[in-house]
Structure 1
Amino acid sequence: MDESTAYEPARNGRRGTRATPISLVTMAAVALCVVVLGAVIVGVVRNGPAAAEPLVWPLIAALLLNLAVMVAGRRRHRNVTRQLRLQLDSTEGARRLSPKDPLTGFLNRRALVEEGTTMLQEAAQRQLAVAMLMIDLDRFKTINDLHGHGTGDVLLARVAAEISNELPPVSLAARVGGDEFACLFVFNPADPNTVQRVAERLVSRLTRPLDLGGTSLHVSASIGIAHSDQERTTVEALIRASDIAMYAAKEAGRNRFSWFDPDMARALHARHELETALRAAIPAGQIVPHFEQQMDLNTGQLLGFEVLARWNHPLHGQISPDRFIPIAEQTGMIADLSQTLMRQAFLAARDWDPALTISINVSAVQLRDAWLPQKIIKLLLETGFPAHRLEIEITERALFENLALAQSIIGSLKNQGISVALDDFGTGYSSLGHLRAMPFDRIKIERSFVQVIAEDQDSAALVGAVASVGASLNLPVTAEGIEDLATEARMRALGCARGQGYLYGRPADAANTRRLLAERRLLGAGSAASDAERRLAG
């Protein structure tokens, strides 16, 4: 910066304070008004009202002059405001038209599309291809929240510099989002490893800690890669494809790169269709409860049921919960889905034998809601289902996302007489200390361990250890996934009190479950009588 540039604002400031004709007239008018009005006041005070008569006309003239100055000032204010607005508009327009991102010096999205189009055309003429790398920083929001947006901006500028150092000499780099960057460069399609090496270097370089003025920050990046071909001949098409691949890299665990595959686009489209259908299915009542039997392994007595969600799609039939439950959790629909499922299950089971219980899972997303116990209790009151017949299942992994809140929720449920079970025990990070601290009523062993117990000694040892832990803490253990008599006998020998699985029947809808209970005389007295009346009427 030279001296003239450095001091230019100071010179501009001095020019802004120079007196103008309008300002001189204004000051003179105000001074005249003050002098005349002061003379009037002094004369009246000393000699009475008669002394003010000679000064009336000068006072009127001063007032009129001030009024004229006010009118002129108002016009001047409007003109200055209009000029400032025009200047601001032109500045904003210039900023929008600028091809560069002011923070990183990279191209903006519009400039990337324009210059990238030229790059694509030139590459096609030379029988070469263009690679697009979409780079997104992992958990950048956390850095902004912890260190502030100023530090976040410094980090983005530093990341941009790191990216520039790893790109080929002839390349385009753009900032296309808050923490998202896109890079374009030409490569020989016969040697795609060239692109992969660039991506590997970027992933490696961005995992190194960055020193930002004494603050050392760790950041990583997920990268999606796409290249031009017969289907992707435009920059926008490359952006879409690389963006899809980038999200695939994030879902695979972050801090890695992923090549675009057409199956990714098809899977994304299918997922979007499923999400749209699910939004309509929940209020339409297409998500219904199915009931899986839970048996006493020592007596063979039916103790209750676990409630499972099933989707009866009007066109596609049964849709597996493995497909729609993750979508419901990711989109926040899981709360409405769970509420709908609980209401239907409570209404279906309220007139069963009073000794039968039902178990319902709540997800990790629901455990973030401090009002979850109140919502469940409200449903119990509305449906008339007794709280002591309900068991809420919480998975081990969900428990430790927010241990303090989970403890509060479990305590509230227990205070209302609702039982709580720790589901999928053995798949997470529970310890004996956690089990003692949490007032669980039951432990459930994940079905994957139970189903391979005959072939896998490690699974057998784990199941035995869990059963021992349950016995030491006076917590009954339920084994899921029992499919044959040999597994049932093994679970019984290991000390499991309850079992559930296909050995006892497939999960059934409310109507078929009701028939099963009627056959076993496990419906309430009033319910059995009403069923008999319906059969006679039929």
Structure 2
Amino acid sequence: MTSDIRPRDRSEAARRDVLTGGIVVAAILLFVGTGSNLMHALVQSLIGLGGGPDKVLAAALILNVALILFGWRRYEDLNREIRERTEAEKRARYLADTDPLTGFLNRRALLVAGQQLIAKSAVEGRQVALFLLDLDHFKTVNDIHGHVAGDRVLQVAAERISTVLPPSATKARLGGDEFVALLPFEPGARATIDALAAQLVAALEDSVTHDAQQIRIGASLGIALANDASITMDTMVRQADIAMYHCKDQGRNRYCWFEMGMEMAVQVRNQIETGIRSGMPRGEFVPYFEPQVDIASGRLVGFEMLMRWDSPEYGMIPPERFIPIAEESGLIGELSLQVIRSAMDIAKGWDPSIMLAVNISPQQLKDPWFSQKLTKLLVEAGFPASQLEVEITESSLFENLPLVRSIVTSLKNQGVSLSLDDFGTGYSSLSHLRALPFDRIKIDRSFVAAMRDSADAQAIVVAIVRLGESLAMPITAEGVEDEATAIELTRLGCTKGQGWFYGRAASAGDTAALLAERGLLRAPAIPEGGVAKPDAEPLRKSA
């Protein structure tokens, strides 16, 4: 209905303007004619040669003057309307082309301006570098500090980008925390582009102040190159995006130029992410269990749950292939809880003396509701909290210690045991052992495996064991691969160990068979004679 009315309104206004213009022109012509006659009569009257101006002519002149004033007023109104429409169109174009938060171009305007810049640079014999910059861990800023803080971080990032890059650079915000800049340069000046990229990454590494808080950010920067007019903006953005993700895989907070080999790696990554998304509802991710034993006696005391992907297409996939991608894509929380729930359902059939240890991703410790989610799993599965041990890596403690403290304290209050995993590989801060209610320390496998050949590694293991003794925290050693290492750990006072010497991670069925053999299932089969088989045989690696 509205689209039908507007054309009629515009045509009616145009007709009124034409009519008004005609009336004004006629009034001016009449004014010239009547005004000259009236002035002639007035002059004759003043010199005594006539009886004064004609009243009708005087009235006509006054009417002409009124019409001319009306026309002038209408002319001014039209000019004002044109100015307002022009300004409104400028504002509309600005809003259509500009990101309101940063003042940079938006994606639509970038694609148009960028294509024009590529064509112009090709004619001039210049090349164009496209920077695609993604802020590292920006989602965490929104989750922890709120969206107002997130907006502030984006504005500061835009200011720093503008400060580092030359005024001639075309700058845009693609959306979210992704920024793009286009820089034309001479073919021999690639070193200048490298220098600008390094400065940009360094500038964005500095923290941002918001409400008396220091928010640390960083950036991964991918660079694509256009050296002729045939390259499209869509291609350049895609290539720079691939290079940017390559930076993230290499450790973040750096820049990379796009290379053709990266595209294949991205395709593989996308296949894995797609497989994770489709595999979760199909139950393709299953728990495996690695034995944990009392080193002195060899008695089985628990299992660490390790995740495996039982893919119908690719077979059994180890966690190092898909866990990093699950973390980057934000799927790790849902995936981890799903497999932990499966492990709880399985472990309910174990003897109460057998602990279930589960690893928690650093990404999960950024979720303020994680402890509630895990508690809900315990209730739904009917699994005793006292039989669960949560392993947290050292590196998880440094991004938001107050949140981690809240999570681990809540879990501790539920009766869950807490273990500090991979101790010695991170910051090894004693203040965290004092401030957080950990029950156990786990020595990283790299130190245990190197004990026999490295005096430094052995010294580190001894220091950690002594630290555990002083804090009344038992020590678990990972990576025990031979009897000599087990004997040495026993001599040092390490209480618990796991590794190939005691057995590799096994499926739920093989784990149940092992427990049944040792009489460590909740409902063991009673052999003839009515006596269950005792857990007398130590667990050792078979020949």
Pair 1:260–1:328, CA change in 2 (3 A):
same
Deviates more, 1:342-351 or 1:117-126: 117-126
Which residue of the partner structure matches residue 130 of structure 2?
Answer: 132
Which residue of the partner structure matches residue 528 of structure 1?
Answer: 525
Which residue of the partner structure matches residue 274 of structure 1?
Answer: 272
Which residue of the partner structure matches residue 163 of structure 1?
Answer: 165
Answer whether contact 1:144 1:152 (CA < 8 A) is retained: no
Answer whether contact 1:134 1:183 (CA < 8 A) is retained: no
1:404 aligns with 2:402: yes
3-state secondary structure, aligned to 1:278: helix
Which residue of the partner structure matches residue 295 of structure 2?
Answer: 297
Inter-partner Cα distance in structure 1 for 2:152 and 2:503? 60
Answer whether contact 1:225 1:259 (CA < 8 A) is retained: yes
Inter-partner Cα distance in structure 2 for 1:203 and 1:440? 37
Inter-partner Cα distance in structure 2 for 1:151 and 1:379? 36
Alpha-carbon displacement from aligned partner over 1:483-535 (angstroms, at most 9, x marks no partner): 111221222222111110011111101101111222233323x34259xxxxx
Aligned match of 1:513 in 488, 511, 514? 511
Inter-partner Cα distance in structure 2 for 1:376 and 1:207? 34
AA partner of residue 290 (structure 1): Y
Inter-partner Cα distance in structure 2 for 1:90 and 1:228? 33
Pair 1:231–1:478, CA change in 2 (3 A):
farther
AA partner of residue 134 (structure 1): L
Which residue of the partner structure matches residue 532 of structure 2?
Answer: none
AA partner of residue 478 (structure 1): T
Which residue of the partner structure matches residue 364 of structure 1?
Answer: 362
3-state secondary structure, aligned to 2:280: helix
Inter-partner Cα distance in structure 2 for 1:332 and 1:430? 27
Which residue of the partner structure matches residue 391 of structure 2?
Answer: 393
Alpha-carbon displacement from aligned partner over 1:302-324 (angstroms, at most 9, x marks no partner): 11111111110110111221122
AA partner of residue 468 (structure 1): R
In the TM superposition, residue 435 of structure 1 has moved relative to its aligned partner by 1.9
Inter-partner Cα distance in structure 1 for 2:230 and 2:314? 32
Inter-partner Cα distance in structure 2 for 1:451 and 1:445? 11
For these two proteins, the number of residue pairs brought into alignment is 437
Inter-partner Cα distance in structure 1 for 2:380 and 2:409? 22
Aligned match of 2:382 in 374, 381, 384? 384
Which residue of the partner structure matches residue 173 of structure 1?
Answer: 170
In the TM superposition, residue 356 of structure 1 has moved relative to its aligned partner by 1.6
Deviates more, 1:465-474 or 1:328-337: 328-337
Which residue of the partner structure matches residue 429 of structure 1?
Answer: 427
AA partner of residue 435 (structure 1): L
Answer whether contact 1:304 1:357 (CA < 8 A) is retained: yes
Q: Among all aligned residue pairs of Structure 1 and Structure 2, give the percentage whose two residues are the same amino acid.
A: 44
Answer whether contact 2:106 2:174 (CA < 8 A) is retained: no
Answer whether contact 1:289 1:308 (CA < 8 A) is retained: yes
Alpha-carbon displacement from aligned partner over 1:450-483 (angstroms, at most 9, x marks no partner): 1112222222111110000111122111100111
Deviates more, 1:458-467 or 1:411-420: 411-420
Answer whether contact 2:126 2:184 (CA < 8 A) is retained: no
Answer whether contact 2:161 2:200 (CA < 8 A) is retained: no
Give the gaps of 5 or more residues in structure 1. 1-81, 166-170, 211-215, 531-538
Pair 1:364–1:207, CA change in 2 (3 A):
closer
Inter-partner Cα distance in structure 2 for 1:522 and 1:155? 58
Deviates more, 1:115-124 or 1:317-326: 115-124
Answer whether contact 1:164 1:173 (CA < 8 A) is retained: no
AA partner of residue 503 (structure 1): F
3-state secondary structure, aligned to 2:389: strand
3-state secondary structure, aligned to 1:515: helix
Inter-partner Cα distance in structure 2 for 1:107 and 1:363? 37
Pair 1:152–1:352, CA change in 2 (3 A):
closer
AA partner of residue 275 (structure 1): E
AA partner of residue 186 (structure 2): F
Which residue of the partner structure matches residue 10 of structure 1?
Answer: none
Inter-partner Cα distance in structure 1 for 2:471 and 2:156? 53
If the length of structure 1 is used for normalisation, what is the TM-score?
0.69
Inter-partner Cα distance in structure 1 for 2:502 and 2:152? 61
1:348 aligns with 2:350: no
Give the gaps of 5 or more residues in structure 2. 1-80, 209-213, 528-543
Which residue of the partner structure matches residue 491 of structure 1?
Answer: 489
Pair 1:131–1:511, CA change in 2 (3 A):
same
3-state secondary structure, aligned to 1:439: coil
In the TM superposition, residue 278 of structure 1 has moved relative to its aligned partner by 0.9
Which residue of the partner structure matches residue 79 of structure 1?
Answer: none
Pair 1:292–1:204, CA change in 2 (3 A):
closer
AA partner of residue 171 (structure 2): A
3-state secondary structure, aligned to 1:284: coil
Pair 1:225–1:520, CA change in 2 (3 A):
same
Pair 1:202–1:84, CA change in 2 (3 A):
closer
Which residue of the partner structure matches residue 307 of structure 2?
Answer: 309
Inter-partner Cα distance in structure 1 for 2:204 and 2:366? 32
Pair 1:302–1:232, CA change in 2 (3 A):
farther
In the TM superposition, residue 137 of structure 1 has moved relative to its aligned partner by 6.4
Answer whether contact 2:118 2:228 (CA < 8 A) is retained: no
Pair 1:326–1:246, CA change in 2 (3 A):
closer
Answer whether contact 1:187 1:194 (CA < 8 A) is retained: no
Deviates more, 1:288-297 or 1:125-134: 125-134
Pair 1:283–1:192, CA change in 2 (3 A):
same
AA partner of residue 385 (structure 1): F
Inter-partner Cα distance in structure 2 for 1:306 and 1:199? 43
Inter-partner Cα distance in structure 2 for 1:90 and 1:433? 61
Pair 1:130–1:468, CA change in 2 (3 A):
same
Inter-partner Cα distance in structure 2 for 1:503 and 1:419? 25
1:481 aligns with 2:479: yes
In the TM superposition, residue 395 of structure 1 has moved relative to its aligned partner by 1.6
Inter-partner Cα distance in structure 1 for 2:376 and 2:103? 56
3-state secondary structure, aligned to 1:298: coil
AA partner of residue 396 (structure 1): E
Inter-partner Cα distance in structure 2 for 1:521 and 1:411? 34
Which residue of the partner structure matches residue 259 of structure 1?
Answer: 257
AA partner of residue 497 (structure 2): G
Deviates more, 1:314-323 or 1:230-239: 230-239
Inter-partner Cα distance in structure 2 for 1:218 and 1:382? 38
If the length of structure 2 is used for normalisation, what is the TM-score?
0.68
3-state secondary structure, aligned to 2:271: helix
Answer whether contact 1:295 1:500 (CA < 8 A) is retained: yes
Inter-partner Cα distance in structure 2 for 1:442 and 1:208? 35
